[in-house]
Amino acid sequence: MTRKIDLDSADISIARVERLNWLFTAIMGLGAWLFFSGLAAKSVLAGGLIANISFMLMKRDIIRAMQGSLKAVKATFLLKYYARLTALALLLYFVIKYGHLAIGGLLVGLSSVALSIGTTAIHDYKRYSGSKKKSDPEIVDKGYGSLI
C-alpha cells in the first residue's frame, strides 16, 4: 500500500522549518561576524550547513518511508538513519579536529534546526489554541481560554 504525503498541508510545517533553518543560520552567522570574528561566523555557518543538510536528508528518507509499506521500509530506514548518524559523527569529529573552527560557533550553527523546530511548534500551538478558543463556545463562556 502506497500513501501520498502532502507537504503543502496546513498541518505539516516542514517547509516553514526548512526556511527558518536557513534564515536562522544566516542571521546567526551574520551576528557572529558582526559581534565576534570571521572564525566564529565561519564556524556558525559550517554548523548550520551540516545541520540543514542532515535535516533535508532525514526529511527525504522519512517521506520515502511513509509512502511505502511501513514493514518493508523500516529496516532500510533504520539502516540509513544509523549510517547517516555515524557519518555525521565522523564529519563533526574531523571538522572539530582539523577544521580550525570554533567549537562554540559550530554548536550554535548546529542548533539552527532545533531552534527552527521549536519556533514553528510554538507558532503552530499559538495558532491552534487561538482558533480553538474562538471556535469552542464552552471554552469562551466558562473562561477556560487561558488554560489551553
**Please, what are the averages of pLDDT over each run of 10 residues along the chain (148 residues)?**
53 79 93 92 93 89 76 78 91 86 90 90 81 55 50
pLDDT of residue 29: 93
pLDDT of residue 12: 58
Q: What is the per-residue pLDDT for 148?
A: 46
Q: At 5, give phi and psi (nearest 5°).
A: -95, 125
- The grid cell for 55 is 535535516
Is residue 3 in a domain?
no
Total count of domains within the chain = 1
What is the pTM assigned to this prediction? Answer: 0.71
Q: How high is the pLDDT of residue 8? A: 53
- What residues contact residue 20 under an 8 Å CB cut-off, 6+ apart? 115, 116, 119, 120
Classify residue 5: in a domain, yes or no.
Answer: no
Has residue 8 been placed in a domain? no
Predicted local distance difference test score (pLDDT) of residue 132: 56
Residue at 84 is within a domain: yes
Q: Are the beta carbons of 120 and 16 closer than 8 angstroms?
A: yes
Is 62 among the domain residues? yes
Confidence at residue 66, expressed as pLDDT on a 0 to 100 scale: 77
Give residue 32's domain range. 14-147
pLDDT of residue 60: 84
In a domain, 121, yes or no: yes
Residue 92 in any domain: the answer is: yes
Flag whether 141 is in a domain: yes
Q: Give the model's pLDDT for residue 147.
A: 46
Residue with cell 562554540: 104
CA dist 128 and 68 (Å) reads 30
